[in-house]
Structure 1
Amino acid sequence: MKKFWNRRDADSDPVPGRGSSSSNREDDRPDEHTRLLSNRVDGAPYLSPDHPAVSPYNLWTVRLVRWLTVALTCVTFIWWVLMVVTVFITPPVLHVRGSPFFAFSYTSFALLTLVVSLLFFSVPSRLARILSIVNAAVLLVDTVLILAVPGLRHAEVWVGVASVVWAALMALWFVIADRTVQWGKAEEEERLTGRPESRRTVTEWLEVTLSTILLIALACVVMLMTLTLTLRAVDGGLAPPGERYWVDNDRYQIHVYCSGNRTDAAGAEITTVLLEGGEDPVERGLWQLAENAVKNGSISRFCFADRPGMAWSDTAPSPFSASIASDALSEALSRAGEDGPWVLASAGIGSLYSRIFSSRHGDRVRGILMIDPLHEDLLSRVGNPGRGFFLWIRGVISPCGIDRILGAILRGRRAADRVWGRSSYQSGTTVFAKLQESLVAESLTKRDVASSRAIQDKDTPLVVISSGQRIRKDRDWEDKQRDLTHLTTNLESWDVVDGAPHRVWDTLTGREIIESRLKRLAKTPVLRS
């Protein structure tokens, strides 16, 4: 607690020549309560350090700094709101090709730093300034990292760069504001009380402690984000097996990979199997299945394209429906010089995308194979509000990358695991892609799939392969699988693989059935009326 000093004005000083006892002289010796400065010329008494008039706000410089801090907070809040909106509806100039949650996190850091500054503005702290300097230095490292690594620069574009630079500047502003208040506080205490106050009240100590804890938490977040950026830089060195092509007026890139010859020995065109992944990237399972099918002679050629946000493909602007995804796929294949003919092989939710593609390219589609496909009537499971909120929360914390960092350190996860393998679901781009699916599942996507069913070529050969486990556990799933066998009038087969999970190809029986059905579809010409 602040202590009140003994106040002595000129009238209380001992008068020379009066003769005083030695005890009186000893009382006049300076101690820790003695004022360092003499009383002012006008004779006005000094104030107590606890007096409300003793405030750094008496100085116009301090007041100006506070108002500037308020203005910066308002500007940062507006940018923060734009970053939130961008997740749901992306303005053309604010599209980020990577995860938009990184720019959001940097903006949130800047906003929280300014809020802490305003909440504890009148209680400066040296430790708080040191922490802010550390945060600013780390954020500058992030800026250099983003600008120096081509993959990060391509993904974050100007939005991410501006957000991290702004966060660094706000951390430095915190230091400037706090130092200005400390100077103003010392000036006013010296002017009004006679000496700068070095002690704090209990309330001030509580405020300093709370501000320090908050800044330490922000410092930890920034450090985690830097480690995650480092992992992303490492992952950027993993070259894709195919090529990336610009789509949607060159707003983002789609990764396309093809393997095998386009024509046979006689010069006839070869049917290409076009793979579409489900909840996971194509590279995680279906790619290996297709490679084995080529080696076994079941098929001669295959292609696949990663949906936006998956594996090596950029994220697309929001909203992003199945119809827009089909347009992006068509454009990427066209730029790659791939025009079929196709056998469409898809899994899970990817079957919805393949069905839309089939309805638009019916003359080049020679068969459809769907592996435990999702029915449009069950899109409510994808578009569940609770699931969407959970994905949004995951996206918000994804820049910290705790699970990815621990996976790399403790479990030896490699770049391939994080880009398309078993840890790919932790990526901010993948989380964002799934959030986009969830947001429009019951509206735009359901409408797109219903329209595609109406115009689907009914003569196209169809194969449905279902998970035995899902059918046994879920009666609705079984009913909808049966309904999908009527997608065309040319059903080749409906196979229910006993004991197979949703990823049917994870079982030997499932892989054998898929390969045999692909072989039949790829070798059989379509007879159209």
Structure 2
Amino acid sequence: MNALRIAATMAAFIGLGVLAGAICEQVGRYRAARDFPPPGQMVDIGGRRIQLDCRGTGSPTVVFESGQGPDGSLAWSAVLPEVAAHTRACAYSRAGLMWSDPSGEPSTARQVAQDLHAALQRAGERGPYVMVGQSIGGPYVVTFTRYFGAEVAGLVLVDPSHPEQAARVVRYMTESRSLLSRIVLNLGWSGLVRLMAPVLLPQANHQSAHDVQAVRAFAPTSFRTELKEGDATEPTLAEAGAFRELGDRPLVVLTAMAPYTERELHGMKITSAQGREVQALWKEMHDEIAGWSTRGTHRLLPDAGHDIQFDDPGAVVRAVLSVVAQVRAGAPVRVSP
């Protein structure tokens, strides 16, 4: 009997703890919306809204696509203002990230491209565009070019994913998310992710305290989208890899070449020697991507890690402005109505 009472008491405490966590999470979501309003505007694309932050004036318009992560448009916070001082520039949050409403559609590169195109059109933005994508954002902007190529005048790919990266580095690859971490990140409703956000999301170089607090505030919902996108990586790369003809559009590919940190090596479960082999393969794949355009350029950044936009934002700004200058100096770009 005593054992049953103890079990019942423990179950009651656990239930109260879960309830308290869920209530705290709802309070946290209310405070996130109150304390961190979206920069730019919320654009209705047909029953749901996409957050779009456009600044500056001039043509071409630079459009930033973030990599896989929870920070949405804030991934470009160290770059966007500098580029916007020279031309029109827009960063946005994909469906389900930060302020943007989630989508009921499967996560595909084509869906991402269609969402972005709809948001730009309905916000009154017009090409020609210079598309900038980091990591998996690279394949996303290549796919955008595939479907809306008449509006794309140039590209900058920041340490981009390669369509065949999994096959080429397969012997070095491990599961990116453990089962435990996946369970934790899917418990956003419980308050657990919000509690762990400072550990899960450390402040990056050149990232303001305000921005990192905003990313943490929306992490419980953004992480679910990040997992969904991560699970769709293989078809995303396959879809993007079907289009490799960028014509004579100016293209700059930036490659992070800083040696992997001990933490990164531990996470990938490889040695420092194997890390150097992976980086050599990474450089080789980026050489190939630069060849997708007859005006492609490949630049190595020896002191930057994968998140180049935070480690060396100046390099990204210079690459973007160099493509903007080439577009301005070239023949007029015909843009579809």
Gaps of 5+ in 1: 1-203, 263-269
1:419: which partner in 2? 214
> Residue 511 of structure 1 aligns to which amino acid in structure 2?
P
Alpha-carbon deviation of 1:513?
A: 2.8
Asked whether the 8 Å contact 2:56–2:87 carries over to 1, the reply is yes
Q: Aligned to 2:253, which of 436, 443, 464?
A: 464
1:242: which partner in 2? 40
Alpha-carbon deviation of 1:451?
A: 2.6
Asked whether the 8 Å contact 1:310–1:429 carries over to 2, the reply is yes
Q: 2:52, 2:128 → 1: CA distance?
A: 16
Asked whether the 8 Å contact 1:463–1:517 carries over to 2, the reply is yes
Identity of aligned residues (%): 21
Alpha-carbon deviation of 1:407?
A: 6.3
2:90: which partner in 1? 303
2:161: which partner in 1? 374
Distance 1:283 1:304, change over 3 A: closer
Q: 1:450, 1:216 → 2: CA distance?
A: 52
2:306: which partner in 1? 502
Distance 1:391 1:405, change over 3 A: closer
Aligned: 1:488 with 2:293? yes
| Highest RCO, 1 vs 2 (Cα 8 Å, sep ≥ 6) | 2
Over alpha carbons, which structure has the higher Rg?
A: 1
1:51-71 deviation digits (Å, cap 9, x = unpaired): xxxxxxxxxxxxxxxxxxxxx
Say how many residue pairs are matched: 301
Aligned: 1:288 with 2:288? no
Q: 1:404, 1:323 → 2: CA distance?
A: 31
2:226: which partner in 1? 434
Alpha-carbon deviation of 1:255?
A: 0.6
Asked whether the 8 Å contact 2:249–2:295 carries over to 1, the reply is yes
Alpha-carbon deviation of 1:340?
A: 1.4
Query: What does 1:470-481 align with in structure 2 at a 5 Å threshold?
Result: 472=276, 474=278, 475-481=280-286
Alpha-carbon deviation of 1:414?
A: 7.9
Aligned: 1:255 with 2:51? yes
Alpha-carbon deviation of 1:282?
A: 4.7
Asked whether the 8 Å contact 1:272–1:302 carries over to 2, the reply is yes
1:235-265 deviation digits (Å, cap 9, x = unpaired): 1112211111223x41x22111111125xxx
2:314: which partner in 1? 512
Q: 2:142, 2:53 → 1: CA distance?
A: 20
Q: 1:406, 1:320 → 2: CA distance?
A: 26
1:317: which partner in 2? 104
SS in 2 for 1:506: helix
Let me know the Cα RMSD of the aligned residues.
2.9
SS in 1 for 2:77: helix
Q: 1:418, 1:318 → 2: CA distance?
A: 29
Query: What does 1:128-277 align with in structure 2 at a 5 Å threshold?
Result: 204-237=1-34, 238-247=36-45, 249-250=46-47, 252-262=48-58, 270-277=59-66
Q: 1:350, 1:390 → 2: CA distance?
A: 26
Asked whether the 8 Å contact 1:312–1:419 carries over to 2, the reply is no
Aligned: 1:354 with 2:144? no
1:476-516 deviation digits (Å, cap 9, x = unpaired): 3222122211222221x211011211112334xx3333222
Alpha-carbon deviation of 1:288?
A: 2.6
1:162: which partner in 2? none
- Please give the TM-score of this superposition, normalised by the length of structure 1: 0.52
> Residue 44 of structure 2 aligns to which amino acid in structure 1?
W
Alpha-carbon deviation of 1:379?
A: 5.2
Distance 1:388 1:321, change over 3 A: farther
Asked whether the 8 Å contact 1:322–1:352 carries over to 2, the reply is yes
SS in 2 for 1:209: helix
Q: 2:284, 2:49 → 1: CA distance?
A: 38
1:522: which partner in 2? 324
Query: What does 1:320-339 align with in structure 2 at a 5 Å threshold?
Result: 320-339=107-126
Q: 1:282, 1:498 → 2: CA distance?
A: 26
Distance 1:369 1:239, change over 3 A: same
Decide which moves more: 376-385 or 216-225.
Answer: 376-385
Q: 1:322, 1:429 → 2: CA distance?
A: 20
The structure with the greater share of residues assigned to helix is 1
Asked whether the 8 Å contact 1:289–1:511 carries over to 2, the reply is yes
Q: 1:384, 1:246 → 2: CA distance?
A: 39
> Residue 320 of structure 2 aligns to which amino acid in structure 1?
L
1:62-105 deviation digits (Å, cap 9, x = unpaired): xxxxxxxxxxxxxxxxxxxxxxxxxxxxxxxxxxxxxxxxxxxx
Distance 1:282 1:402, change over 3 A: closer
Distance 1:417 1:452, change over 3 A: same
